[in-house]
Structure 1
Amino acid sequence: MRILGIVALAAALGGCAFQRAEVAQTAQASMIGMPKEQVLACMGAPANKAAEGKTEVWGYNSGNGMTVTDASYGRFGGTAVSSNRFCNVNIVMTAGLVSAVNYTGPTGGLLTAGEQCAYAVNACVKHQ
């Protein structure tokens, strides 16, 4: 019975990761053309900014601090490797409008790429 509960919890958490990955993917298309004032309203102040001519890039850090651990055990002992998942979100604006939304970093798993990026862009997707 306890194992069934653990499996159900893992499935529920995995479902959330899929939803966040979908939000991140949606943001990359739906935020195009958004004025920078609206980005500021839904994402807040960026962690960093860069500008060149009429192009600006606003950088945001995103994620929930998730750590993934892989363990393997052999005949003489075991090893474990852990890694943190996070996302650097870069909002590219040309002439004051979003022209691209780019993600870098270990943003998710094999089937949930981008899920750590959803934390930063979620409010922008919900406002549309």
Structure 2
Amino acid sequence: MRVLGVVALAAALCGCAFQRAQVAQDARAQMVGMSKEQVLACMGPPANKAAEGQTEVWSYNSGDGTVVASGSASYGSFSGRSSQRFCHINVVMSGGGVAAVNYQGPTGGLITAGEQCAYAVDPCVKKQ
């Protein structure tokens, strides 16, 4: 019975990761065209700003601090490593509005890419 509970919890957590990955993907499309004021309203002030000519890049950090551990055992020895998932979000502004949204970093798993980015962009995404 305990194993069934663990499996159910793992499935629920995995489902949340898929949902966050979809939110991050939706944000990349939905945020294009937003004004600077709209981005400030839904994401807050950026951690960093850079400008080159008429183009500005606003940078945000996102994530929940998830640490992923992996390891292998061979002939009585074990080796392991861990890594932290996070997302650096660059919102590219051109002509007073969002031209692109880019994600960098270890943002998720193989099929949940971008899920760590959803924490910052979620308030900007229209729910279906």
TM-score (norm 2): 0.97
Q: CA RMSD in A?
A: 1.2
Q: Aligned to 2:125, what secondary structure does the other structure show?
A: helix
CA distance in 1: counterparts of 2:19 and 2:11, whole angstroms: 12
Query: SS of 2:100's equivalent?
Result: strand
Amino acid of the structure 2 residue aligned with 1:33: G
Deviations 1:43-90 (A, max 9, x none): 000000001111110000000000000021122221111000000000
* Distance of 1:100 and 1:91 partners within structure 2: 6
Specify the alignment match of 1:99 in structure 2. Answer: 99
Which position in structure 1 is the counterpart of 2:53?
53
Offset of residue 109 of structure 1: 0.2
- Structure 2 residue 116 is matched with structure 1 residue 113: no
Q: State the identity %.
A: 69
Is residue 73 of structure 2 the alignment partner of residue 73 of structure 1? yes
Q: CA deviation at 1:38?
A: 0.3
Partner of 1:2: 2
Cα deviation 1:75-107 (Å, max 9, x = unaligned):
222111100000000000001100000000000
Alignment TM-score, normalising by the size of structure 1: 0.97
Aligned to 1:24: 24
The DSSP-based 3-state class of the residue aligned with 2:58 is strand
Quote the Cα distance in structure 1 between the aligned partners of 2:116 and 2:11.
18
In structure 1, the partner of 2:43 is: 43
